[in-house]
Amino acid sequence: MDLMEKMVSSQTIFEGRIIKVTLDQARLPDGKLASREVVYHPGGVAVLALDEDKMVYLVKQYRYPIQRLLLELPAGKLDHGAEEDRLLGAKRELCEETGLEAAEWTYLGSTLASPGFCDEELHMYLARGLTRQRQHLDEDEFLDVVAMPFDRLVEQVMDGTITDGKTVSATLKAKVLLGL
């Protein structure tokens, strides 16, 4: 069975600094029409920074849409969309948010944030060989850097204490793929 949906029309209903939202009409496999609300995002990166003592560096920040503090991996959007080099974006975000630089980078793959309505793809990296530099947050960014043992991070992912999708994905990928 052909499961593809084909766009019939698209109307931009919002275009902001980071996202664009469209209201589309799509033809379904059975020929009927359906409305689709789509959020377009430039994509992002997330970094699991791990030192020689198996300490991982996270950021604690308030997330306005859910009205709570979250503990998550350093991350950010690709400033120039999909054409930005993902590794350069990861290096930039790690240094901006934590003041850390890394000598060794391992690509852990990507994850789709919520593909039912959004095209955001997050690229995940493991960073090792850490050195401390100067943190330089964005003007509207307020966060605390938190270090914890990698094993404790895994425990908090598994017990539901940490629920951020990119942090869960990168942590479990690092655990399984790299045997951490």
Catalytic residues: 139
Q: How far apart are CA 172 and CA 106, in angstroms?
A: 14
Say which DSSP state 178 is in. S
User: CA of 143: how far to CAs of 139, 168, 169, 178, in Å?
Assistant: 12, 19, 21, 29
Q: Are 45 and 123 in contact (CB under 8 A)?
A: yes
In single-letter form, the type of residue at position 75 comes to A
Secondary structure of residue 19 in the 3-state scheme: coil
Q: How far apart are CA 76 and CA 55, in angstroms?
A: 21
